[in-house]
Amino acid sequence: MRLPGSVFAVVLAASSCVVFRAAAEEPNDYPTNTRADYVFACMAVNGETRENLERCSCSVDILASIVPYDRYVQAETILSMRQGVGQTANTFRSTKMFDDIVADLRRAQAEAEIRCFR
């Protein structure tokens, strides 16, 4: 399936920002604000307890050890774009390449859940 130019531009822009940032950081090193956002969202879903703080922190550490930061940003961008309406959102929902990127993130999240929440 051929991607519309605007969809390709969004993914390319997100990827190029990540590539620039990744060059200055260690591999798989998520920025602190990304880790904090992940932990806040995780605690919102699982409960705001000290135990869940530790579990959610563990979860983002496991995720970062499995999924490179640029791939994480791509998956989060795709998931965000899928929430919209219209042709662009439909393209993000129906493109196999995007499904594969999101599936990689979901597998890493499942691994983190097994290791940190059980």
Q: Give the predicted TM-score (pTM) of the model.
A: 0.72
CA–CA separation, 13 and 7 (whole Å): 10
Q: Which residues of 9-47 are buried (b: 16+ CB within 10 A; e: fewer)?
A: ebbeebeeebeeebeeeeebebeeebbeebbeebbeebe
The predicted-structure confidence for 49-83, as pLDDT tens digits, reads as follows 999 999 999 999 999 999 999 999 999 999 999 99
User: Do 34 and 88 touch, CB atoms closer than 8 A?
Assistant: no
Residues whose CB is less than 8 angstroms from the CB of residue 37 and which lie 6 or more positions away in sequence, other chains included: none
